[in-house]
Amino acid sequence: MKLTKLLQLASEILNDTNRQSQKRREQLKEIQRQLKKKTKRLKEKCEDEQNEDIKKLISQKIAVAAAQRKKVIKELRKIDSTS
């Protein structure tokens, strides 16, 4: 391995801020994946539901998940722009 590459690797390992933002990025990705799965499941449930009251409750959950997903994307962009 070349010296510059080795130094880069060492600085990556030693750079705590970098490591933390990488960890946070992974966590956000995981949350995003879960929210996507949840939204899909809720939408399917909403389509099958006949009771209007329950349908309304499911729509609320979908709206919340959508707002949360937007926040995740915003946070991910913030990380990308700083790194």
Partner 1 sequence: MFKHIIFFTILVILTYGFWLSSDFKEISAGVAIFLFGMLSLEEGFKAFTGGLLERLLRKTTDKTWKSLAFGVISTTAMQSSSLVSVITISFLSTGLIGLSAGIGIVFGANLGTTTGAWLIAGFGMKVKLSAYAMPMLVFGVIGIFQKSNTLKGLGYILAGLGFLFLGIHHMKEGFDAFRDTIDLTAFAVDGYYGVLVFTLIGIFATVVMQSSHATLVLIITALSAQQITYDNALALAIGANVGTTITAIIGAMSANIQGKRLAAAHLVFNVFTGALAIIFIQQLGSAVEWIANALGVDDNNYILKLAIFHSVFNSLGVILMVPFINNLASKLTALMPEKQQTFEKPIYLSKAAIELPDTAITAVRKETLRLYDNAFGIIAHGLNFHRKEILSNNALNANHKKNAKLIAINFDAEYDHSIKSLYSEIVEFISRAQVAMKPEQADELFLLRTAGRDIVEAIKDTKHMHKNFSHYIVSDNPYIKAEYSSLRTQLGNLMRELAKIRVNEDGGSSLLSFDSLRLEMEVNDSTTNGKLEQLIRENKLTAKMATSLMNDSTYAYSIARNLIHVGETLFSASNTSMRETEQDIALTNDEVAEIISNESFNQ
Give the interface with partner 1 as residue ranges (CB under 8 A): 23-24, 27-28, 31, 34-35, 37-38, 41, 56-57, 59-61, 63-65, 67-68, 71-72, 75
- The answer to whether the beta carbons of residues 65 and 42 sit under 8 Å apart is yes
CA distance 70 to 33: 13
Nearest residue to 77 (alpha-carbon basis) of 14, 24, 12: 24
Complex with partner 1: residue 9 or 60, whichever CB lies closer:
60
Measured from the CB of residue 10, what is the shortest distance to partner 1 in angstroms?
21
Measured from the CB of residue 72, what is the shortest distance to partner 1 in angstroms?
6
